[in-house]
C-alpha cells in the first residue's frame, strides 16, 4: 500500500502549521520549508480547508493556519479523509470489478480487515504526537525559510 503524494503533502503542511498553530503562515513559506510545489500546495490547502483542518486569511498578514488543535487531529481520520476511498484491490469496487470470483473470494475481506487495522493504529495518534520532537523539527524547517527571500523579486 502506498499513500498519495497529495496525502504526504497534506501531512507535511499540517506539521508546519502545527508548530505555529496560532499564526497564519503564507503558503509560499510552507512550500519552501517542506520543499513542495506551490501550486500543488494550494490544492492541498484548499482540500484541508474544505475538510475543516485549516482556515485561510487573505491580505498582507494572511496565510493558512490550523482550524483545530494538533491534539484534535487524528492521523487515521485525516488520511482517510484526504485519500478518500482506498480501494486497494479492484474488487473493492464491485461495480467496476472484472474479477470472476468476486462473489466468493476470501482475499478481499482479509485485505479489508488489514486496512481497517491500519486506520485503527493511526487513529491512536494525533498531529500533536507527530510534533512531539518539536525541538528537532523546528531547526530543520526554519533552515529553509531563508530560501524564501531568493523567490521574491528584487525591489
Domain boundaries, the chain: 1-73+128-155, 74-125
Does the structure show a pLDDT above 80 at 28? yes
DSSP secondary structure code for residue 68 in this structure: S
Length of the chain: 155
CA angle 72, 74, 76 (to 5 degrees): 170
| Predicted confidence (pLDDT) per residue in 66-117, tens digit | 999 999 999 999 999 998 877 666 666 666 777 787 778 888 888 889 889 9
pLDDT of res. 13: 95
CA distance 71 to 78: 12
129 confidence band (pLDDT: 50, 70, 90): very high
User: Phi-psi category of 63—alpha, beta or left, where left has phi over 0 and alpha has psi -120 to 50?
Assistant: left
153 confidence band (pLDDT: 50, 70, 90): very low
Residue 8: exposed, middle, or buried by beta-carbon count in 10 A (0-12, 13-18, 19+)?
middle
pLDDT of res. 151: 45
The set of cell numbers assigned to 113 is: 480487515
With H, G, I as helix, E, B as strand and everything else as coil, classify residue 90. Answer: helix
The set of cell numbers assigned to 125 is: 495518534
pLDDT of res. 152: 43
In this prediction, what percent of the chain has a pLDDT beyond 90? 52
Q: Which of 84, 83, 21, 19 is nearest to 53 (CA)?
A: 21
The beta strand positions in 1-72, using DSSP E, are 54-57, 63-66
Q: Which of 36, 28, 118, 20 is nearest to 70 (CA)?
A: 20
Better-predicted residue by pLDDT, 6 or 108: 6
pLDDT of res. 87: 67
Residue 55 pairs in a beta bridge with 65
* CATH number at 1-73+128-155: 1.10.10.10
pLDDT of res. 149: 45
How large is the average pLDDT for residues 47-72? Answer: 94
Does the structure show a pLDDT above 70 at 15? yes
Amino acid at each position: 500500500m502506498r499513500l498519495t503524494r497529495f496525502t504526504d503533502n497534506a501531512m507535511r503542511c499540517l506539521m508546519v502549521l502545527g508548530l505555529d498553530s496560532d499564526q497564519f503562515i503564507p503558503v509560499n513559506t510552507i512550500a519552501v520549508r517542506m520543499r513542495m510545489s506551490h501550486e500543488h500546495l494550494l490544492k492541498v490547502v484548499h482540500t484541508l480547508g474544505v475538510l475543516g483542518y485549516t482556515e485561510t486569511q487573505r491580505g498582507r498578514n494572511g496565510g493558512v493556519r490550523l482550524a483545530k488543535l494538533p491534539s484534535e487531529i487524528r492521523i487515521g481520520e485525516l488520511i482517510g479523509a484526504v485519500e478518500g476511498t482506498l480501494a486497494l484491490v479492484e474488487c473493492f469496487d464491485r461495480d467496476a470489478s472484472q474479477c470472476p470470483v468476486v462473489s466468493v473470494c476470501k482475499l478481499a475481506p482479509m485485505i479489508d480487515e488489514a486496512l481497517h487495522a491500519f486506520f485503527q493504529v493511526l487513529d491512536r495518534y494525533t498531529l500533536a504526537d507527530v510534533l512531539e520532537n518539536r525541538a528537532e523539527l523546528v531547526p530543520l524547517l526554519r533552515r529553509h525559510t531563508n530560501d524564501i527571500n531568493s523567490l521574491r523579486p528584487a525591489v
